[in-house]
A and B are shown apart, each in its own frame.
Chain A
Amino acid sequence: MNKQISDQGLASQVDKLPKEIQPQRDLWSGIERAIQGKNQQDASEVKHNNIIPMAWAASLIAAVLVTWIAFKPTSLQLSTPLLVSNEQASSTSDMALASSMQSSFQQQKQTMLVSYGAPDMTNLPISMQNQLTALAQARQTIKKALTNDSTNVDLLNLLRFTQQQELNLLQQLYPYMNNKNAQWQRI
């Protein structure tokens, strides 16, 4: 008559509980959809994550290329620095630095013209000759100014810049120097 369930009775019933229960509906289709959605999401995230470093790398390469193109030394330029530092200016006495720059420039210009076969500059169009003359005059003016202020870094840099412009112009004119008027016209 005693129907009270004991601890052992309960434990026995617990042991008999099925380890598995079959769900009433198909659960896999929902899981499959969710998994595919996650995979696509992950793929897009991976793609997105790849784009950022690639963009950074591309920007870096572009920046390096631009810098290199802008500052690359031409074959005919000497390895002298483009700008004159304060140390250089102060360590060189009076007009020595300016003279040294001038003689260096003349040497480069001469070397360049010799390498081009000593072309006749008078073959150049008047406008080009005028430009070269203007650069030469500017150079002379700066040199005069340097006689009063020989350690002025700005003037020294300006001299260097003018010299460089003259050399660059000559370099650009090189393909046309030894040819006839037809090629000059193209410039």
Chain B
Amino acid sequence: MNNSKVIDAQKLFVTSPEQELIALAKQGSQTAFHQLYEIHHRQVYALCWRMLADKDSAEDVCQEVFVVLWQKINNFRGESKFSTWLHSVTSNVVLGHLRKQKNWLQRVFSIEDQADHVLPEEATVTLDDSSELEELDQHIAKLPERARLVFVLFAVEGYRHEEIANMLNMAVGSSKSQYHRAKALLKQSLTAVALAGENYE
């Protein structure tokens, strides 16, 4: 009974050529894996960029995601869309990267991870590679780290607050409050830009 459900799900969610590429990649075909990369790498990069708000880090982590994917592709059983599964792999790799980075910073500067306001407030980034980005993406990138991560995962990627809280190791309430904070900051900065444009005109 369960097997037939799995087969139905595979038929429903995975398109036939992609299913074939996945099967070949599972058998070790780098050509098939390259084709999967060509199909998905822009989405993966977009998620990396939005979560990390840094071009170089996003490129490095995007590469890391596909290396991890090559190692873990046999774990994909076709029970969900491949792109959904790949997005969760990407989120995990990005969060792992951030944790490593934060640990390194803490070691170097002996900073203790005490409270939300200690690190994330300083974690906003200066964009030097935003020319090709949508205006909203540029504003998202300027959000404090935690607010940005919650906003991207909730509003852009569609995760639930419970899932985000679990991923970011925070309370559900914190996830919700970070989302509201991100929204308020975005509305504020977008309004400021709109007013500046009006004054310019």
* A residues with CB within 8 A of B: 3-7, 10-11, 13-14, 16-25, 27-28, 30-32, 34-35, 38-39
Contacts and interface: CB of A to CB of B under 8 A. Distances in A.
B166 interface: no
B183 A7 contact: yes
Interface residues of B, number: 37
Interface string B66-89: 110011000000000000000000
B59 A17 contact: no
Given A5-B194, A20-B46, A24-B55, 13 more contacts: A3-B191, A4-B187, A5-B190, A10-B183, A13-B190, A16-B134, A18-B46, A20-B45, A25-B59, A28-B37, A28-B41, A31-B37, A38-B70
B42 A21 contact: yes
A27 B63 contact: yes
Contacts of A11: 155
Interface in B182-196: 183, 186-187, 190-191, 194-195
Contact of B45 (A3, A7, A22, A35): A22
B67 A38 contact: yes
A24 to B, nearest CB: 7
A23 B156 contact: no
B43 interface: yes
Contacts of B194: 3, 5
B70 A10 contact: no
B32 to A, nearest CB: 12
Contact of B190 (A10, A22, A23, A25): A10
Contacts of B33: 35
A20 B63 contact: no
26 contacts: A3-B191, A4-B191, A6-B187, A7-B183, A10-B183, A13-B136, A13-B190, A17-B134, A17-B136, A17-B156, A20-B42, A21-B45, A21-B46, A22-B42, A23-B42, A23-B45, A23-B62, A27-B59, A27-B63, A27-B66, A31-B37, A31-B66, A31-B67, A34-B67, A35-B67, A38-B70
B54 interface: no
A27 B67 contact: no
Contact of B134 (A7, A18, A34): A18
B133 interface: yes
A14 B156 contact: yes
Contacts of A28: 34, 37, 41
Interface in B156-198: 156, 183, 186-187, 190-191, 194-195, 198
A31 B70 CA distance: 9
Contacts of B42: 20-23
B50 to A, nearest CB: 8
